[in-house]
Chains A and B, each alone.
Chain A
Amino acid sequence: MLKVKNLTKTFSSPSGDVNALKAINLNIETGEFASIIGKSGSGKSTLLSMLGALDIPSSGNIEVDGVDIAKLSAHKQTAYRARKIGFIFQQYNLIPNLTALENVMLALEFGGVPKRKRKSRAQQLLNEVDIDEEQQLRKPSRLSGGQQQRVAIARALANKPSIILADEPTGNLDSETGKKIFDLLHKLTRSEKTTIIAVTHDMDIAGRTDRTFQLKDGKII
C-alpha cells in the first residue's frame, strides 16, 4: 500500500522558485499496475524520484507499508531503495563492464543476499525474463535493447521489492518489443504481487494499466 499525502517539491532556480509538484495526493494498492502520464515538465520524473527515495520532498508524506520514507535518514533511504524498490529506466542503465548476470548479482549484493545464493538467484531471475545462459554472460553492449530492458527488469525484481518504479520503460524500444516488455511487467504484477508505477507518455500502454494518473503543472488532474 502506497499513500502519498500533500507532497510538494520546490526547486530553487536563479529566476525564482519552481514548484515542480503541488500537493500531490494519491493511493496505490499493493499489486496494482499504475501509470503516470503527462507532458514533459509536468513533474512525472520528480514524482517518481520522490517515490523511489532518490530525492527528498519539500513537504508532505510518502508512506510505504506504513513507513514514511520522506523522513528516513540518507543511509536508511539507501537501504529502502535496495530492498523495497526496483528501478527500471528508459536507458536501461545496466553497468557496462559487468555481464547481465553480474548486473543482477550486484543488486542482490546491495540487497544483502548472501554471496553463495546470489548466482543461482540471478540465473533464476534472468531465466524468468527469457535471457538464456549464453546471453547471461554477455555484457550489455552485446545485448539488444529489449534484452537489456529484460535484464533491467530482472535486476529490479532481484530483492523482491514492494514497488517497481519504471521511467518510460518502453520509451527506447520499438512498439512490438515495447509491448512484450509491457506484457512481462503486467505478468509480474500478477505473479509476484508487486506494485508497479510506470511513467509513460504512450497512451496505448497507459490505457491498459489498472489505473492512470495524469499530471499537469505539478498537479494530478
Chain B
Amino acid sequence: MNVVTRGIKNALRSPLRSGAIILMLAISIGLILSMLVARSSVEAKINEVKSSAGTNITITPAGVSGFAGGGDPLTGDQVATITSTAHIASVTSTLSDQLGTSDTSLISSLELGSFGQRMMRFEDSNSSSTGSTNSTESSSHPAPTPRTSVTGTTNPNAVSTDGSSLNITSGETIDGKSIDLVALVGSDLATKNSLTVGSTFTAYGKTITVKGIFTTGNKFQDSGLIMPLASLQTLTDQTGNVTTVVAKIDSSDNVDATVTALKSSLGDKADIVSAAKQAEENVSSLSSISSLALAGVIGSTVAGAAIILLAMIMIVRERRREIGVIKAIGGTNQKVISQFITEAMTLTLFGAIIGLALGVVVSGPMTTSLVSSQTSSTTQNANVVRQGGPGEFMRGNFNRLSTNLSQITSSLTPQTFSAAVGITFLIAIIGSAIPAWFIARIRPAEVLRSE
C-alpha cells in the first residue's frame, strides 16, 4: 500500500461518479483525437495539392483563351525574356493552330455538332452575326466543317492531360526542338484517317510523316496533332511566335516573385496564371476546415481540463477532513498531493483509453463529413470550363485537383496519436495542479473541529 495504490483506489471509490467523470473525459479526449486527425488529414491534403500543382506558371498572350479571343501571339523576344527571368528553371513553349479542309488532307475526327456549328457561324461572311443559329438558317450556307487542332510544342509531354508523360500507343515520341516535318497523331484522328506509324499526310502544302500515335483519354486532344514547335512556326510563317509558355519555377517560394517580375517585363501583352496560386485558392475551404479542427482541439482540451479540474476540486473539498487527518498523522504535503495526482491521472487514463478508442472509431466519418460539407462548393468553382487550345492542358490539372479535394482519407498517424496523448497528459496536469494547491492549504488543525 503506497501513495500510488491509494490514489488508484481512491479513483475507484465511487464507481458511479468516477464513471461519469471518465465518460465526460472520454468524450472530450475522443473529440481531441478526431479533430487532430481531421486537421492532419486536411493539412496533408493541402500540401499534396500544393505540391502536385507544382511551381508551374502559364503565360498566354493577353486576350487569348483557347482558340477564342484576339490579340498577337507571344513573340520570340518575349519568350527569350521569359526564359531569362530569374528563378525560371525551364520553359515549354507551345503554338496552337487549326487545320481546315483547305490546309490538309486530314479529315477531322470530331463531329461538328451544335456547339461546333455555333462556334463556326461567323465563318461565312453572309451569316447573321446577331441572333440564334437555327438549322434552317445554317443550311442555307455552305456547311462548315470541324477543324483539326495542331499543337507545336517544345515538349510533347506537356500535352498530356494528367500531368505525366504522353502515352504513345505506337511508334515513338518526337523531339520538340527539331525542325523535321514529323507529327504525333491523336488516336481518334489516326483511326479516322487510317494513319499508322510511317504514314504521311499533307498539311500547309507539305508532306508530314507520322512518327507515333498517342492517346490521352481526352477526345479533343486525341483528335489533334502534335508537331515540333519550330516546324509548325515555319509552316505557319510565325517564326518565334508562341501561344502558350509554361515556365517551371525553381522553388515554390519564388513563384509569387517571378509572377510579379514577369508581369512587369511583359506588361499588358500577356496573361499569367500561377498553378500554385490557383491551387491555393482551391484549397482555401480546406484551410478553413483545418482551422475549425484546430479550434475543436483547443475547445475539447479546455473542456477536458475543466472536467478533471472541477471534479478534482470537488473531490478535494469533499475530503478536506481526510486530508487533514493524513497530515495530522504525519503525511507530508508531497505525499497527499502525489496521491491526488495519481487519482486524477487514473481517471484521465481511463478516460484516455476509452476516448482514444472512441476517437479512432469516429475520426474517419467525422473527417469525411467535415470535408464533404465544406468542399462541395469548391469543386464546382474549380470546374470553370476553359476552352481548348492554349492553356488547355492546365484544365486537366485543375479538374484532377478539384475532384480529389473531396476524397480525403483520414489517416491516424503515430504523430497524431502521440499528440492526442500529450494533450491528455496536459489535461491531467492542469486538472491536478490547482487541486494540489488547495490541498497544500488545508491545515491539519481542521480535524480537531469535530462539528
Partners in one complex: yes
Query: Could you tell me which A residues sit within 8 Å of B by CB distance?
Result: 45, 48-49, 52, 54-55, 75, 78-79, 81-83, 87, 89-91, 93, 95-98, 102, 105-107, 109-111, 115, 155, 159, 167-168, 171
B13 within 8 A of A: yes
A sample of 16 cross-chain residue pairs with beta-carbon separation below 8 angstroms, ordered by A number, consists of: A45-B448, A54-B444, A54-B445, A78-B327, A78-B333, A81-B327, A82-B330, A83-B330, A90-B450, A95-B326, A97-B13, A98-B9, A105-B1, A110-B329, A110-B330, A110-B335
B332 within 8 A of A: yes
Q: Is the CB of B445 within 8 A of A155?
A: no
Complex Cα spacing A117 to B9, Å? 22
Chain A: which residue is nearest B448 at the CB level? A45
**Which of A83, A87, A90 is the one whose CB lies under 8 Å from B328?**
A87
Q: Is the CB of B325 within 8 A of A81?
A: no
CB of A63 to closest CB in B, whole Å? 20
Of A55, A78, A91, A97, the most chain B CB neighbours within 10 A belong to A78
CB of B205 to closest CB in A, whole Å? 102
Q: Is the CB of B450 within 8 A of A171?
A: yes
Known: A97-B9, A97-B13. A89 touches B447 (CB 8 A): yes
Complex Cα spacing A167 to B445, Å? 12
Complex Cα spacing A90 to B450, Å? 7
**Which of A93, A106, A115, A159 is the one whose CB lies under 8 Å from B447?**
A93
Q: Is the CB of A45 within 8 A of B449?
A: yes
Within B434-451, the residues touching A (CB, 8 Å) are 443-445, 447-450
**Which of A93, A106, A111 is the one whose CB lies under 8 Å from B1?**
A106
The 10 A-B residue pairs whose C-beta atoms are closest, nearest first, are: A82-B330, A110-B330, A54-B445, A49-B445, A55-B445, A93-B325, A54-B444, A45-B448, A90-B450, A81-B330
CB of A173 to closest CB in B, whole Å? 13
**Which of B2, B6, B330 is the one whose CB lies under 8 Å from A78?**
B330
Chain A: which residue is nearest B13 at the CB level? A97
Known: A97-B13, A109-B1. A54 touches B329 (CB 8 A): no
Of B326, B448, B450, the most chain A CB neighbours within 10 A belong to B448
Q: Which residues of A contact B445 (CB under 8 A)?
A: 49, 54-55
Chain B: which residue is nearest A89 at the CB level? B447
CB of A168 to closest CB in B, whole Å? 7
B211 within 8 A of A: no
Q: Which residues of A contact B13 (CB under 8 A)?
A: 97
CB of B124 to closest CB in A, whole Å? 99
**Which of B321, B329, B332, B333 is the one whose CB lies under 8 Å from A107?**
B329
Complex Cα spacing A205 to B321, Å? 27
B10 within 8 A of A: yes
Give 13 new A-B contacts, CB below 8 A, not counting A93-B322, A109-B2: A45-B448, A54-B443, A54-B448, A78-B331, A79-B330, A81-B328, A91-B321, A95-B322, A95-B325, A102-B1, A106-B326, A106-B329, A167-B450
Q: Which residues of B contact A109 (CB under 8 A)?
A: 1-2
Binary flags per residue of B294-337, CB closer than 8 Å to A gives 1, else 0: 00000000000000000000000000011001111111110100
**Which of B10, B321, B331 is the one whose CB lies under 8 Å from A110?**
B331
CB of B155 to closest CB in A, whole Å? 78
Q: Which residues of B contact A87 (CB under 8 A)?
A: 328-329, 447
Complex Cα spacing A7 to B425, Å? 48
Complex Cα spacing A109 to B330, Å? 9
Q: Which residues of B contact A167 (CB under 8 A)?
A: 448, 450
Known: A167-B448, A171-B450. A52 touches B329 (CB 8 A): no
CB of B4 to closest CB in A, whole Å? 12
Q: Is the CB of B328 within 8 A of A52?
A: yes
Q: Which residues of B contact A168 (CB under 8 A)?
A: 450
**Which of A48, A55, A96, A155 is the one whose CB lies under 8 Å from B443?**
A55
Known: A55-B443, A95-B325, A96-B322. A78 touches B448 (CB 8 A): no
CB of B52 to closest CB in A, whole Å? 60
**Which of A93, A98, A107 is the one whose CB lies under 8 Å from B330?**
A107
Complex Cα spacing A107 to B326, Å? 9
CB of A170 to closest CB in B, whole Å? 13
Q: Is the CB of A82 within 8 A of B449?
A: no
Q: Is the CB of B332 within 8 A of A78?
A: yes
Complex Cα spacing A98 to B448, Å? 21
Of B1, B321, B331, the most chain A CB neighbours within 10 A belong to B1
Binary flags per residue of B326-358, CB closer than 8 Å to A gives 1, else 0: 111111110100000000000000000000000
Q: Which residues of B contact A155 (CB under 8 A)?
A: 329
Known: A54-B444, A96-B322. A91 touches B450 (CB 8 A): yes
Q: Is the CB of A48 within 8 A of B448?
A: yes
Q: Is the CB of A93 within 8 A of B321?
A: yes
Chain B: which residue is nearest A80 at the CB level? B330
Complex Cα spacing A155 to B450, Å? 19
**Which of B10, B325, B329, B443 is the one whose CB lies under 8 Å from A97?**
B10
Q: Which residues of B contact A171 (CB under 8 A)?
A: 450
Complex Cα spacing A168 to B335, Å? 28
